[in-house]
Amino acid sequence: MTADNANTVIVTGASRGIGRAIALRLAKQHFSVVVGYAAKADQAEAVVREIADHGGQALAVRVDVADPGQVATLFATARTGLGELFAVVHSAGIMPLAPISEADPAVFDAVIATNLRGTFLVLQQAARHVVPGGRIVSLSSSVLAKSFPGYGPYIASKAGVEGLTRVLANELRGREISVNAVAPGPVATDLFLAGKTPEQIDQLRKLAPLERLGQPEDIAGIVSFLLGPDGAWINGQILRANGGFA
């Protein structure tokens, strides 16, 4: 099986926000989409229905990306239900904020478990099951360049994501599989907006020279490009999709 006759894509964190926008965009490109989600089954099923309503194929699979057994099941279910994997887009993540001096170590552990261990486990399965000529994309963050107070655990986890991305790109030499990460700047999602005042949001909006928050569809467009024919020569890269934020 090669990329020429495989069209299934797994998108983790696809029940809302950036992941949801990616899933819907890829379905419009005639990919069959596995909607990976951690909770909110109703939201995941709503994404599946929206894809089906537009003539696409999709199924929802609940997965804790920090659990190796559940991640393996996600991949097995995807291949059994929709066919061989052309691509994996790992969008699942959490972002609790607290100063390093005050953060509960349990919060740090949770962020690392979901954002970094989860990426490792998803990339591991992707490396085993994506067909030759396929694509692997993870989500990092442009906040790495800013070192904002309160983002310590999140930035630590996303720095690890970028390291794993570059290493896996080298490890898959000879299989024609590209491995990249997309690093959004501030994007108007529930994850980003939670806990911020209108004043803080407005301040962040003005940081980019384009003076707006990104939209989930902006990031979905970058992922769409990476999975399309024009993105085939990009490999081992971190694409900072942020309007000039960093």
Q: Select from 158, 138, 161, 118 the least CA-distant residue to 226.
A: 138
- Token pair 């999140």 in the structure block, residue: 154
- Token pair 């569809």 in the structure block, residue: 217
As beta bridge partners, residue 61 has 36
- Label the pairing between strands 58-62 and 238-239: unpaired
Helices (H), 130-215: 152-171, 190-193, 198-205
Dist. CA 8–CA 79, nearest whole Å: 8
Structure tokens at 26: 């890829």
Of 37, 154, 192, 245, the active-site residue reads 154
Dist. CA 102–CA 68, nearest whole Å: 31
Query: Residues with Cβ < 8 Å from 102, sequence gap 6 or more?
Result: none
Residues 107, 113, 116, 119: is their CA dihedral positive or negative? negative
Residue 154 bears catalytic tag:
yes
Positions marked catalytic: 154
